[in-house]
Amino acid sequence: MMDFPTFLRLPVADWIDSAVSWILRYFGPLLDFIGDVLLTILMAVDSLLLWLPWFVVLLLVGVLAWYAIRTWWAAPVMMVFMAIIGTFGYWDLAMMTLALIFAAVILSLIIGIPTGIFMARSDTFAGILRPILDGMQTMPSFVYLIPALMFFGLGRVPAVFATIIYAVPPVIRLTNVGIRGVSQSVIEAAQAFGATSKQILFEVQLPLAFPSIMVGINQTTMMALAMVVIASMIGARGIGMEVLLAINRIEVGRGFEAGLSIVLLAIVIDRITHGIASRQQYTKTSH
């Protein structure tokens, strides 16, 4: 009497296993193609970043920091942060981590920005998608490893796939918010001059929504970076793997160096992307 009745048990696990088997049977070639595309993009970015000399990367970081933040201390501080990662011996791993983040963010933008545009232009689609995005943003990040493992196995491809699922909601939301925030009077003025729906979208709404979209890109990038350590559990190489190994071997010093490297990398990425978004917001306000 005290035990929960077994006849009320829902065999959800069996249903999911059957669904996964069906998907793999009929969509296996498509999943293999998607995996090959993801791996090609990741390896291309990885090879480029590892090919660039370290001092060239530092100079690029300095130029981006100066452009984004426009203060005298920004470039040297961001360059020092990146150099510290190199002094820990994690330069190549940091470039691998950047490659994973860059590939995941680019693919997230390819998926997220058009989805956000469609969401802004259709209240019905927005009503359907909003609770899905709520669930994606509140679900524990470890859960995203499950579909990645089911469809792509172990390796860097499922790590990118899981990162995309985790990181794409902010850019969808903020693209939608940015476009919906464009003044109706501006749209009516464009219509009065004979602008088509396509011209209004690309020449009025998207330029005015660009600051909001940039904030979404910043948030998507930071969420992708948050998956670095978790993605290492399914085969992603990079600094996250060092954190995982340090935990397994109880090597406190190694874990501190790897963790600090991730923090410094996050600060550099956040300050640069946030600075670019702030500059765009200032430009929009000044006009």
Task: Check whether 206 has a pLDDT greater than 60.
Answer: yes
pLDDT value of position 148: 79
Please determine, for residue 115, whether its predicted confidence score (pLDDT) is greater than 90.
yes
Torsional class of 277: left (φ above 0), alpha (ψ -120 to 50), beta (otherwise): alpha
Report pLDDT digits (tens) over 18-77. 888 888 888 888 888 888 888 888 888 888 888 989 999 999 999 998 888 888 888 899
117-146 tens-digit pLDDT: 999 888 888 889 998 888 887 877 777 777
Q: Which domains does the chain have, with CATH numbers?
A: 21-286 (1.10.3720.10)
- In this predicted structure, what is the pLDDT of residue 117? 92
The stretch 223-252 carries a mean pLDDT of: 82
| CB neighbour burial string for 211-248, b if at least 16 within 10 angstroms, e if fewer | bbbbbbbbbbbbbbbbbbbbbbbbbbbbbbbbbbebee
pLDDT higher than 60, residue 282: no
- pLDDT, residue 283, reads 54
- Amino acid 279: pLDDT: 67
**pLDDT grade, residue 287 (50/70/90)?**
low
42-81: b (≥16 Cβ within 10 Å) or e: beebbeebeeeeeeebbeebbebbbebbeeeebbebbbeb
3-state secondary structure of 140: coil
| Residue 129 identity (one-letter amino acid) | L
Query: What's the confidence (pLDDT) of residue 81?
Result: 92
Q: Among 185, 180, 73, which Cα is nearest to 125's?
A: 180
pLDDT averaged over every residue in the chain: 84
**pLDDT at position 252, please?**
86
Nearest to 166 by CA among 146, 193, 187, 151: 146
Q: What's the whole-number mean pLDDT along residues 157-162?
A: 84
167 vs 195, residue with greater confidence: 167
